[in-house]
Chain A
Amino acid sequence: NAGVTQTPKFQVLKTGQSMTLQCAQDMNHEYMSWYRQDPGMGLRLIHYSVGAGITDQGEVPNGYNVSRSTTEDFPLRLLSAAPSQTSVYFCASSYARPASSYNSPLHFGNGTRLTVT
């Protein structure tokens, strides 16, 4: 059981380039989300999905797109990278939505460290 798998582990981009961060989970979780982690800022929610075909914006969505065509995959796209997007990105999934009464734990991947020069 792999859990949440993120690829790549490291990436360097030049300003204006595009790329997709991959996230896959094998736990049949309906809820998936993307966070970015910056020093002194904690984890901030970028986008989330409560099921295949449904996505919504989090706290810091600008500059990022997502899609959810299957239950397993939730890729994060940077269309035109900027230095402000230098960060560590984490994908997380859970059985139930955080706002539900089930309070199921979030399972995180090991992150993608992105540098934009």
Chain B
Amino acid sequence: GENVEQHPSTLSVQEGDSAVIKCTYSDSASNYFPWYKQELGKGPQLIIDIRSNVGEKKDQRIAVTLNKTAKHFSLHITETQPEDSAVYFCAAPPPPGGGADGLTFGKGTHLIIQP
């Protein structure tokens, strides 16, 4: 099945600075890469996703970039605000024709926004 590695496990940035979280995946056939945000006491919620035919996608202060050759994708948050403090997860779908039919998640990044 798919193997997803996520770094760093904890990231502390000053309010207003940018934050970058990186993930690598193992199966070159993977074609969809979502990012989820989990606030304390709640379930993860999709914040942005990208398909393999696109190199970058932006949504206001959030962007995701994909490098298919290197098999990695990154979440970029600009002008960070206190409400960005949360745990962020990357994920990848199962490879075609094999494995359990569920997303494989990275182990998460705890983003801390310092005032």
Give the B-binding residues of A (Cβ under 8 A).
4, 31, 33, 35, 40-45, 48, 50, 56-59, 90, 92, 97-99, 101, 103, 105-106, 108-111
Contacts and interface: CB of A to CB of B under 8 A. Distances in A.
Contacts of B103: 45, 98, 106
Given A42-B107, A103-B51, A98 B101 contact: yes
Contact of A43 (B9, B42, B49, B105): B105
Contacts of A41: 107
B101 A97 contact: yes
A110 B43 CA distance: 4
Interface stretch (B55-63, B66-74, B78-86, B92-100): B92-100
A97 B94 CA distance: 10
A58 B105 CA distance: 13
Residue among A90, A101, A106 having the largest count of chain B Cβ atoms under 10 Å: A106
A79 to B, nearest CB: 21
B44 A43 contact: yes
Given A48-B101, A103-B49, A4 B108 contact: no
Residue among A40, A42, A111 having the largest count of chain B Cβ atoms under 10 Å: A42
Contacts of B102: 33, 35, 45, 48, 58-59, 98
